Amino acid sequence: EAGVAQSPRYKIIEKRQSVAFWCNPISGHATLYWYQQILGQGPKLLIQFQNNGVVDDSQLPKDRFSAERLKGVDSTLKIQPAKLEDSAVYLCASSLDRVSDTQYFGPGTRLTVL
């Protein structure tokens, strides 16, 4: 079974630039999560999708972050414009359905904002 795929793996941009991350979840998984993990901290949930609808985006900085999940499968997370404090690893995870189902994480995208 293929795992969660993410791209790119690494990205370096200057502040005020835009960046987009892509995630392809495990086939058949209804729930998709985007997390932000700052060095030395645990992952922080940014947004959760159930199929193509948003379940929770309470911690997403909506003035600069946006996310969509096209047709309930792939998802993109965008930052526009980026700030220095956005430097982090962005993790995508998927699970079958409920939050109690095992979350499978992708390798993450390491973003460096200069």
Partner 1 sequence: LAKTTQPISMDSYEGQEVNITCSHNNIATNDYITWYQQFPSQGPRFIIQGYKTKVTNEVASLFIPADRKSSTLSLPRVSLSDTAVYYCLVGDIMNYGGSQGNLIFGKGTKLSVKP
**Residue 47 is encoded by which pair of tokens?**
């947004």
Task: Rule CB under 8 A: choose which of 64, 72, 78, 104 binds partner 1.
Answer: 104
User: What burial class does residue 109 get, using C-beta atoms within 10 Å of its C-beta: 0-12 exposed, 13-18 middle, 19+ buried?
Assistant: buried
Which of left, alpha, beta for 58 (phi over 0: left; psi -120 to 50: alpha)?
Answer: alpha
Taking CB under 8 A as the rule, does residue 62 contact partner 1? no
* Cβ at position 108, least distance to partner 1 in Å: 6
Task: Rule CB under 8 A: choose which of 58, 63, 70, 71 binds partner 1.
Answer: 58
Task: Rule CB under 8 A: choose which of 12, 84, 99, 114 binds partner 1.
Answer: 99
